[in-house]
Amino acid sequence: MRHHDGPPADLAVVGAGPAGMAAAVEAARAGLAVVLVDSGARLGGQYYRHAPEGFHARRPGALHHGFRRFTRMAAALDASGAEVRLGRRVWAVEKVTGPGEDDLVAVHCLAGERDERRETVLARRLLIATGAHDRPLPFPGWDLPGVFTAGGAQALLKGDLVVAGRTVVVAGTGPFLLPVAAGLAAAGARVAGVFEANGRFGLAPAVLAHPGKLVEAAGYARRLAAHRVPYLGRHAVVAAHGGDELTHVTVARLGRDWTPGARRTIECDALAVGYGFVPQIELATQLGCATRGGGDGPAVVVDEGMRTSVPGVYAAGEPTGVGGAELAEVEGGIAGRALAADLGRDAGRAPGSARRRAALTAFAAAMTRAYPVRDGWQGWLLDDTLICRCEEVPYARIKEARALGATDARSLKLLARPGMGWCQGRMCGYAVARLAGEDPAPPRRPIAQPVRLGDLAGEPGPPDFAGPPEPAGRPDFAAGEDPR
């Protein structure tokens, strides 16, 4: 069981998706000692998730848009000298005082997937490139087996080559629904419909103004048409039904504010549903990095070199605002060069990357405006609809808490306990905030990942830094989001 070994690295990168990989390549090429950690078993993050070696895929990128960019980056990473440590869940980061040096950052990991062991990476600088996860909305039956987040159905297909169902419905909002539906259809599922709660993609002015995105959108539209997949705007899945598993869904036409109107039923054994993404920023908030709100937030505030408000801590990709893989890679490259320059190395120049970042950020902002979540979804809820899946908190209990005077999300959590379970509020946090009439607040998770107490109790921390905060909560797990 090692905590840390050897001298501190120059840079620890958390997250081996497009942003983390690009940053590690640039920084290592410039001569920095880089350690790149990721919780997954393979490089690539969610966007470039791909099948394990055991499948011997001859066309591993057939399920991806732009997979060649990933293979190029992976080769560059291999040649760069950066140290890659996969299968590491980071549960805490903190500033520590190094021997006779400036502050260091300690990245506390759990290594391995079954018998996890503690491992700490010490580094002079930290880059947070932790990506995002799906933003689900609750609706009756959303906890039935067979209901997936859109990203979950995509992950099962890309990462394990398993199709979520024979007959699949895709629903939610945003352009991400299209590649999910196209992938499932190509893999042999019957996609019974794509139901976009806002307007259909491809008609948004921002897409028409962005040729690359327009071509990509047209490609998905063509593939869906070839499989005769209906794609409807202003519709949503408002309920999922079945006994032990999903058997059918109710689809409703939506009003402008998403108030459900006329309904019909569609048989299906899988549903892939997603209403955008939530940046994973709890490592940044642990360190006190400034955040901002907005439709794609809360997100970490960064400057033109991807520096956060905390000296020595950088962020790139979705944590700075949801913008997709292409923007993440650009931001990672910018961060890697800025890190190298800030540590006195010459990272060379990448003319045009600031301009590309600005253009892609503008496109992402336009997408956020075109695909908002409207509060009419609250009209889908029944008294027994679970809001929090982990703690099984029904809507009725949220209403009771509100009647008792819980008028903000924090009080709702203390009274009704949504978001206090294993997922630490990641799945219901957005919904709970909106049910309290608030925009989602930055996460407060002193422990960024549920940790088995035995794994924490195993060994004391090394003497040169203060131990992590003591966990509290479940007898066997330290998990819940801090309600304070």
Contact set for other proteins, span 179-238 (CB under 8 A):
186-190, 192-193, 230
270, 168 contact by CB (below 8 A): yes
**How many angstroms separate the CA atoms of 251 and 170, rounded?**
11
Between 248 and 410, CB nearer to other proteins: 248
Between 57 and 221, CB nearer to other proteins: 57
Site size for other proteins (CB under 8 A): 75
Q: Which of 9, 107, 163, 197 binds other proteins (CB under 8 A)?
A: 163
The set of long-range contacts for 264-268, using a CB threshold of 8 Å and a minimum separation of 24, is 265/241, 266/169, 266/192, 266/193, 267/167, 267/192, 268/165, 268/167, 268/168, 268/169, 268/192
Between 59 and 349, CB nearer to other proteins: 59
Phi and psi for 212 in degrees, rounded to 5? -60, -45
Reported residue count of the chain is: 484
94, 465 contact by CB (below 8 A): yes
Helix or strand holding residue 264 (H, E) = strand 260-267
- Site pattern 267..306 for other proteins (x: CB under 8 A): xxxx------------------------------------
Between 330 and 398, CB nearer to other proteins: 398
- Site pattern 54..93 for other proteins (x: CB under 8 A): xxxxxxxxxx------------------------------
423, 459 contact by CB (below 8 A): no
**How many angstroms separate the CA atoms of 334 and 347, rounded?**
10
Q: Which of 153, 177, 281, 339 binds other proteins (CB under 8 A)?
A: 153
Report which of 92, 76, 81 is spatially closest to residue 21, judged by C-alpha positions: 76
Type of residue numbered 330? V
Between 114 and 256, CB nearer to other proteins: 114
Near other proteins by CB under 8 A, which window of 51-59, 254-262, 327-335, 395-403?
51-59
Phi and psi for 151 in degrees, rounded to 5? -65, -30
**146 counts as binding other proteins under rule CB under 8 A:** yes
User: Closest separation between CB of residue 193 and other proteins, Å?
Assistant: 6
**How many angstroms separate the CA atoms of 78 and 74, rounded?**
6
Question: Contacts with other proteins in 321-380 (CB under 8 A)?
Answer: none
21, 43 contact by CB (below 8 A): yes
Between 235 and 357, CB nearer to other proteins: 235
**How many angstroms separate the CA atoms of 85 and 40, rounded?**
10
User: Closest separation between CB of residue 244 and other proteins, Å?
Assistant: 5
**How many angstroms separate the CA atoms of 47 and 70, rounded?**
10
Q: Which of 145, 288, 311, 454 binds other proteins (CB under 8 A)?
A: 145
**266 counts as binding other proteins under rule CB under 8 A:** yes
Q: Which of 452, 461, 462, 473 binds other proteins (CB under 8 A)?
A: 452
User: Closest separation between CB of residue 382 and other proteins, Å?
Assistant: 15
User: Closest separation between CB of residue 210 and other proteins, Å?
Assistant: 28
User: Closest separation between CB of residue 336 and other proteins, Å?
Assistant: 25
**383 counts as binding other proteins under rule CB under 8 A:** no
Residue 262 CA neighbour count, 13 Å, CB half: 1
Q: Which of 4, 24, 38, 39 binds other proteins (CB under 8 A)?
A: 39
**How many angstroms separate the CA atoms of 475 and 381, rounded?**
32
User: Closest separation between CB of residue 94 and other proteins, Å?
Assistant: 23
Diameter of the chain measured on Cα atoms: 69
Type of residue numbered 153? A
Between 123 and 156, CB nearer to other proteins: 156
Per-residue tokens: 296: 């794609």
Between 125 and 158, CB nearer to other proteins: 158
- Site pattern 105..144 for other proteins (x: CB under 8 A): --------xx------------------xx--------xx
Q: Which of 160, 375, 408, 459 binds other proteins (CB under 8 A)?
A: 160
Question: Contacts with other proteins in 384-443 (CB under 8 A)?
Answer: 389-390, 392, 421-423, 426-427
Between 264 and 292, CB nearer to other proteins: 264
For 73, residues 6+ apart whose C-beta sits below 8 A from its C-beta are 18, 21, 22, 25, 329
User: Closest separation between CB of residue 209 and other proteins, Å?
Assistant: 32
Is 372 strand, coil or helix? coil
Near other proteins by CB under 8 A, which window of 6-14, 264-272, 327-335, 341-349?
264-272
Burial, 96: exposed, middle or buried (Cβ in 10 Å; 0-12, 13-18, 19+)?
middle
* Residue 139 CB coordination number (10 Å): 25
Per-residue tokens: 313: 């801590």
Q: Which of 8, 138, 152, 480 binds other proteins (CB under 8 A)?
A: 152
